């Protein structure tokens, strides 16, 4: 039961990351980010299948059908969200370039996604995301970090930010300017 709940939480977290990454991949035409969305979908499928099995096994033991059905349904809803994220990401993977009209639509939407390099002067350089509390101080939430030619997707509070890292963050438009200034080292206080 605890195990199934953990799987559902992981599925929900992954599906949310997938949507943000899918929009990012379109906005900045990032093939590798779009590929990550497809990769995460495999994880979602696997978790969905496991939730179904574990939930039915649980029902056989505790005779509580409603609980098992609630869990199976939730996993199914989340899987649908993940599928939609994959559809968005596939516009980047389907060869050809993403039509500018899509990019424009995403740029002007309420949930903002920004990509910004961390300057060596930035107060973020050398700190973990947990230390700097960027999310609660700027409203911008880091969803991916590019370091050289590799990516860290869904960084945790333990992820250390290095000078030169490129951050992709999502958040409310009102936090964008502060976030960019912090990354560029123009503002030295959070």
In the complex with a second copy, which residue's Cβ is closer, 32 or 137?
137
Contact 8, 74 (CB under 8 A): yes
Judged by CB under 8 A, which of 43, 117, 160, 178 binds a second copy?
Answer: 178
- Write the interaction track for a second copy spanning residues 129-168; mark x where CB under 8 A is met and - where it is not: ----x-xxxxx-x---------------x-----------
How far apart CA 113 and CA 65 sit, in angstroms, is 41
Judged by CB under 8 A, which of 38, 56, 59, 81 binds a second copy?
Answer: 81
Contact 92, 153 (CB under 8 A): no
User: Residue 187: which H helix or E strand, with range?
Assistant: none
Question: Residue 65 class from Cβ within 10 Å (0-12 exposed, 13-18 middle, 19+ buried)?
Answer: exposed
Contact 7, 51 (CB under 8 A): yes
3-state SS, residue 185: coil
CB atoms within 10 A of CB 63: 9
Assess 175 for contact with a second copy (CB under 8 A): yes
DSSP 118: P
At its nearest, how many Å lie between a second copy and the CB of residue 23? 8
Judged by CB under 8 A, which of 70, 120, 131, 188 binds a second copy?
Answer: 70
Assess 60 for contact with a second copy (CB under 8 A): no
At its nearest, how many Å lie between a second copy and the CB of residue 65? 11
Contact residues toward a second copy (CB under 8 A) are: 1, 4-5, 8-9, 12-13, 16, 19, 66-67, 70-71, 73-74, 76-78, 80-81, 83-84, 87-88, 91, 96, 98-99, 101-102, 104-106, 108-111, 133, 135-139, 141, 157, 171-172, 174-175, 178
């Amino acid at each position: 039961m605890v195990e199934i709940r953990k799987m559902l939480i992981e599925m929900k977290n992954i599906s949310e990351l997938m949507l943000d990454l899918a929009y990012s991949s379109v906005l900045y035409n990032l093939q590798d980010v779009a590929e990550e969305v497809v990769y995460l979908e495999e994880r979602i499928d696997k978790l969905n299948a496991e939730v179904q099995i574990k939930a039915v096994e649980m029902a056989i033991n505790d005779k509580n059908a409603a609980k098992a059905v609630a869990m199976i349904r939730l996993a199914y809803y989340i899987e649908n969200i993940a599928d939609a994220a994959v559809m968005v990401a596939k516009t980047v993977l389907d060869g050809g370039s993403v039509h500018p009209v899509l990019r424009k639509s995403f740029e002007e939407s309420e949930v903002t996604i920004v990509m910004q390099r961390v300057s060596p002067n930035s107060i973020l350089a050398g700190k973990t995301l947990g230390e700097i509390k960027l999310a609660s101080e700027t409203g911008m939430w880091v969803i991916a970090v590019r370091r050289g030619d590799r990516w860290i997707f869904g960084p945790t509070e333990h992820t250390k930010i290095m000078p030169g890292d490129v951050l992709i963050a999502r958040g409310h438009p009102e936090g964008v300017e502060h976030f960019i200034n912090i990354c560029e080292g123009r503002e030295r206080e959070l």
